[in-house]
Amino acid sequence: MTDKVFINGLRAETVIGVYDWERNIRQPLIFDLEMATDNRAAAKDDDLTKAIDYAAISQRVIAEVERSSFMLIETLAEHLAALILEEFGVQWLQLRVLKPTAVAEADAVGVQIQRGDGSFS
């Protein structure tokens, strides 16, 4: 059995982009995360230390994004995925990064990646 914890619509601003004008401004990004876990131990004991702490992950992602300055959202996605897998003991995650201002005619463009143990997807 695989349970998933998700965070949808997490927002942060950062310097991101390949054009000169993008290197001088902060742009909004939106993040959707889905992380595999087994919730039974946390639920049984009603114990946050046995659960994926989505508040801590959200705060860490926002802090990392706001201090970063990548050219590509692909690079940012890989960086964040590695950070979450390593720092929070998540075995598998799906991460979607949306850049709402990238194409004027679109609501958003972005990337979606899956990393970790593929048996959870």
Helix (H/G/I), strand (E/B), else coil: 13? strand
Of the candidates 29, 52, 35, which has an alpha carbon nearest to the alpha carbon of residue 94?
Answer: 35
Active site residues: 99
Radius of gyration of the chain, Cα coordinates, nearest whole angstrom: 15
